[in-house]
Amino acid sequence: MGMNGVLRPGHAAIRVLDLEPAVTYYIEVMGLIETARDDRGRVYLKAWDEHDHHSLVLREADSPGLDYMGFKVVDDATLDAMAAGLAARGVAIEAVPAGEHVGTGRRVRFRVPTGHAFELYAHKDIVGNGMPTMNPGIRPDALKGIAPVRLDHALMYGADLDGTVALFTEVLGFQVTESVAAGDTVIAAFLSCGAKVHDIAFVRQPADGKLHHIAFYVDSWDDVLRAADTIAANDVSHDLGPTRHGISRGQTVYCFDPSGNRNEVFTGGYMWYPDRPPLKWTADELPRALFIHERKLRDSFMSVVT
Ligand SMILES: [Fe+2]
């Protein structure tokens, strides 16, 4: 079975307090590449190995946080079918016209029960990864900073975790790869739309619509360590790591952008195939599930969201 529905996280649109310091951070420290600015003042960026036009959109606002996250689907027919599936569940659909994002086709926007806005779309202009597709190289020259290969996943906080997970699994074709439960109550769910260990995750918390982090992928543990060196060298606000998660087995370091949005630099994690048994954790093992070495919860990590 190939991927025939939602392909991957396509973009995160986040709010920043001051645009230019944010752009400088995402280019010089995170190592993303600016691809466009629009007449609404938004700045579009991509990770170097993404071929599509952008994966991060920055907008200046009075408070940080997530405006919406977009997922790319395989084609227009899938976009229409998923929009119809959402509508059939009583989810309000907003049609966003082609071109509202630079280089992007029509989008379908909707809000999930945890209060977050998501989008689906089938087209984004291909701008390439800085190397030819015929006889390519390994890595373009002149990358800056951490230089992740892609936007990987995001983790969000909200109250009605069950409602959001139901939409993602029953309408959008995601699978829960790992979860944490207190008795019968799921308090965290990690979901995949393909072969990655997670593409989106939700934690049950009373405040809706909150962003815990967006994550960028690097190729190795060495790259995570180098990312931490870059975070330190640039005096960026550090959260925790480098360390390893129990959930996903991923290796990680966390920091904050200049507006306080948490970023993760992530690598590893096992392959997810649809016949793999999901992993379950009990709430009393949450410290080990989050940080398998320290086995301690960190207040700032648990409570700081945008
Ligand atoms: Fe993460």
Q: What is the model's pLDDT at position 96?
A: 98
Q: What are phi and psi of 98, to 5 degrees?
A: -55, 140
Q: What is the model's pLDDT at position 2?
A: 66
Is 264 an active-site residue? Answer: yes
State mean pLDDT over 32-56: 98
Report the range of poorest mean pLDDT among 95-99, 165-169, 279-283, 288-292: 288-292
Mean pLDDT of the chain: 96
Preceding amide of 132 cis, omega within 30: no
DSSP 3-state of 302: helix
Residue 89: pLDDT band with limits 50, 70, 90 = very high
Q: What is the model's pLDDT at position 32?
A: 98
6-121 CATH, one of 3.20.20.140, 3.30.2010.10, 3.30.70.1170, 3.10.180.10: 3.10.180.10
Please report which helix (H) or strand (E) contains residue 227, including its range: helix 221-233
Q: Which of 254, 270, 293, 294 is catalytic?
A: 254
Task: State the distance from the centre of ligand 1 to the C-alpha of 249, rounded, in angstroms.
Answer: 11
Which residue from 298, 244, 293, 30 is spatially nearest to 252, judged by alpha carbons?
A: 244
State mean pLDDT over 126-142: 96
27 vs 23: CA distance, rounded Å: 6
Q: Which of 11, 101, 153, 212 is catalytic?
A: 153
Is 153 an active-site residue? Answer: yes
Of all residues in the chain, the percent with pLDDT exceeding 70 is: 99
Q: Which residues on adjacent β-strands are paired with residue 186?
A: 181
Structure tokens at 7: 């392909």
Task: State the distance from the centre of ligand 1 to the C-alpha of 245, rounded, in angstroms.
Answer: 9
Task: State the distance from the centre of ligand 1 to the C-alpha of 203, rounded, in angstroms.
Answer: 12
Buried b (16+ CB within 10 A) or exposed e, 114-142: bbbbbbbbbbbeebebbeeeeeeeeeeee
Task: State the distance from the centre of ligand 1 to the C-alpha of 252, rounded, in angstroms.
Answer: 8
Q: Would you say residue 297 has pLDDT above 90? A: no
Task: State the distance from the centre of ligand 1 to the C-alpha of 283, rounded, in angstroms.
Answer: 18
Task: State the distance from the centre of ligand 1 to the C-alpha of 135, rounded, in angstroms.
Answer: 33
Is 212 an active-site residue? Answer: no
Q: What are the pLDDT digits (tens) for 46-75?
A: 999 999 999 999 999 999 999 999 999 999
Q: Which of 25, 50, 213, 217 is catalytic?
A: 213
State mean pLDDT over 136-151: 96
Query: At a CB cut-off of 8 Å and minimum separation 6, what does 252 contact?
Result: 224, 241, 242, 243, 244, 245, 264, 265, 266, 267
Q: Would you say residue 8 has pLDDT above 60? A: yes
196 vs 276: CA distance, rounded Å: 12
Q: Where are the domains of the chain?
A: 6-121, 150-303
Q: What is the model's pLDDT at position 300?
A: 84
177 vs 80: CA distance, rounded Å: 26
31 vs 265: CA distance, rounded Å: 11
Residue 299: pLDDT band with limits 50, 70, 90 = confident
232 vs 245: CA distance, rounded Å: 21
State mean pLDDT over 234-248: 96
263 vs 155: CA distance, rounded Å: 10
83 vs 186: CA distance, rounded Å: 27
Q: Which of 54, 101, 116, 198 is catalytic?
A: 198
Q: Would you say residue 153 has pLDDT above 60? A: yes
Q: Which of 245, 270, 273, 285 is catalytic?
A: 245
Q: What is the model's pLDDT at position 302?
A: 85
Q: 150-303 architecture in CATH?
A: Roll (3.10)
Task: State the distance from the centre of ligand 1 to the C-alpha of 5, rounded, in angstroms.
Answer: 23
Is 245 an active-site residue? Answer: yes
Task: State the distance from the centre of ligand 1 to the C-alpha of 264, rounded, in angstroms.
Answer: 6
Structure tokens at 99: 């071109």
53 vs 51: CA distance, rounded Å: 7
Q: Give the pTM.
A: 0.97
Q: Do the domains 150-303 and 6-121 match in fold?
A: yes
Structure tokens at 172: 């959008």
Residue 89 CA to its chain's centroid (Å) = 25
Cα-based distances in Å from 98 to 78, 117, 121, 153, 294 = 16, 18, 9, 24, 47
Task: State the distance from the centre of ligand 1 to the C-alpha of 265, rounded, in angstroms.
Answer: 8
